[in-house]
């Protein structure tokens, strides 16, 4: 029988890849009164529900989705969190 | 003395707010061979380092940054994770 899993994926730029959006935020913050913020990196977060027979199967499906479609493996890293069937 | 904290912020659209990017992904997946994926929601993830005297102070600063600058509280929810001084 197939179960449903809640999935959270965080897609972030790999270290060393320029992040102009993050830089812009970092430069704007002091003018707004927020000092002491550094290393701002902006990524994408995706949340969805996957149907699969078990958690391993769900994770495999999500990994393959990320590789082929949701992220660019050349410049992006992916972090996958799968939480229990509901 | 001031410590540094690693901060992860997830900005997501509130429930009920239309998410065209998520919908587009959801509609594209079956054609790529991924069935059984539903409820796709896309948000933003931000990571940065904050300098503050303690964790409470750091959290307050991040909350105020989110409210004023990083998110639109009318349509977006924010989740903040702060991990220990390093």
pLDDT at B86: 57
Q: Are A18 and B19 in contact (CB under 8 A)?
A: no
pLDDT digits (tens, 9 = 90+) for B5-35: 999 999 999 999 999 999 999 999 999 999 9
Which DSSP state fits B32?
A: G
B64 vs A contacts (CB less than 8 Å):
34
A69 vs B contacts (CB less than 8 Å):
25, 28-29, 32, 34
Find out if CATH 3.30.1280.10 is the number for domain B3-85: yes
Q: Is B42 a residue whose pLDDT tops 70?
A: yes
Query: Considering only alpha carbons, which residue of chain A is nearest residue B28?
Result: A69
The pLDDT tens digits along chain A (86 residues) read 789 999 999 999 999 999 999 999 999 999 999 999 999 999 999 999 999 999 999 999 999 999 999 999 999 999 999 998 65
Of residues B29, B46, B61, nearest to A34 (C-beta): B61
Residue B44 tokens, joined: 């933003």
pLDDT at B6: 97
Q: Which ipTM score applies to this complex?
A: 0.89
pLDDT at A84: 80
Mean pLDDT across chain B, nearest whole number?
94
For A30, B15, B67, the CA distances from A39, given in Å and listed in that order, are: 14, 30, 20
CA dihedral B3, A22, A25, A39 (to 10 degrees): 20
Mutation test of the interface with chain A: which of B48, B51, B59, B80, choosing the one with the most A Cβ atoms within 10 A? B48
B39 vs A contacts (CB less than 8 Å):
47-49
Structural domain boundaries of chain B?
A: 3-85
């Amino acid at each position: 029988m197939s179960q449903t899993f809640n999935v959270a994926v965080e897609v972030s730029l790999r270290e060393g890849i320029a992040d102009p959006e993050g830089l812009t935020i970092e430069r704007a913050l002091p003018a707004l009164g927020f000092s002491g913020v550094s290393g701002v990196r902006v990524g994408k977060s995706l949340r969805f529900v996957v149907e699969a027979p078990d958690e391993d199967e769900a994770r495999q499906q999500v990994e393959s989705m990320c590789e082929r479609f949701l992220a660019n493996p050349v410049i992006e890293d992916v972090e996958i969190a799968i939480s229990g069937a509901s």
